[in-house]
Amino acid sequence: ILDHDRSLLAVSAFNDNGKKGQVKDPLRVLRSDFFPGLGWMMTRRLWDQELSSKWPNGYWDDWLREPAQRQNRHILRPEISRTFHFGTKGGASGNQFGNILGEIYLNQEPVDWSSIEPPSSLERSTYDHDYLELVQGAPLANDLTDALQKVDTQNTRLEYTSFRVFQSLARNLGLMTDEKAGIPRTAYRGVVECRPKGNFILFLTPPLSNLQRDFLSATR
């Protein structure tokens, strides 16, 4: 799909929020607006025709996240990470995320990807339709306490109205709280998800009207 879908920038084997106890499905692959920078690949075409001539000497991960490079293209990433990162020295972040990286759960279940449903389910139009249905079909919680009760038995949605509100919710859920180029880690059209009880999904989303408008505008 990466070779043929021009709406993709890269594929990654890493979930920035894939902590132990908060992921479940080894078969699940998602689209994201956030470039993770760990365990990834792009096509030779993208490198040769677009990026190689202007590749920076350093901080290339943040550079790729900038609108001029990403150009609204997405990244495919798994729910459960396939790469584990353990370095404690060096890197652009100065190991500021070292403790969090150490909590990422590495997949233990072999998957025969050739037997999985066709990649057409990950094509943008199909994926957007199915993902919006999944998200807006989840009951809306009043607050985090209510969300954590509801998510015991069903997928649940909790809205945030500003990035500051998102950060507060993410911090209380043990998720990454930072953003790059205005996009929270793992977000897709503003949606960040986790499984706080290890089973059902909690979606942190913008207000539903904003979310629907964003998905609709992407199809035009």
128 is a catalytic site residue: no
Q: What are phi and psi of 193, to 5 degrees?
A: -125, 155
Residue 86 makes CB contacts below 8 A (sequence gap 6+) with 101, 102
Q: What are phi and psi of 74, to 5 degrees?
A: -110, 170
Distance CA 66, CA 73 (A): 11
Which neighbouring-strand residues pair with 77?
30
Q: Which of 61, 62, 146, 214 is catalytic?
A: 61
Q: Are 156 and 141 in contact (CB under 8 A)?
A: yes
The secondary element (H helix, E strand) that includes residue 158 is strand 156-159
Side-chain half-sphere of 3: how many Cα atoms within 13 Å?
Answer: 1
The secondary element (H helix, E strand) that includes residue 156 is strand 156-159
Residue 43 makes CB contacts below 8 A (sequence gap 6+) with 2, 3
What residues act catalytically? 61
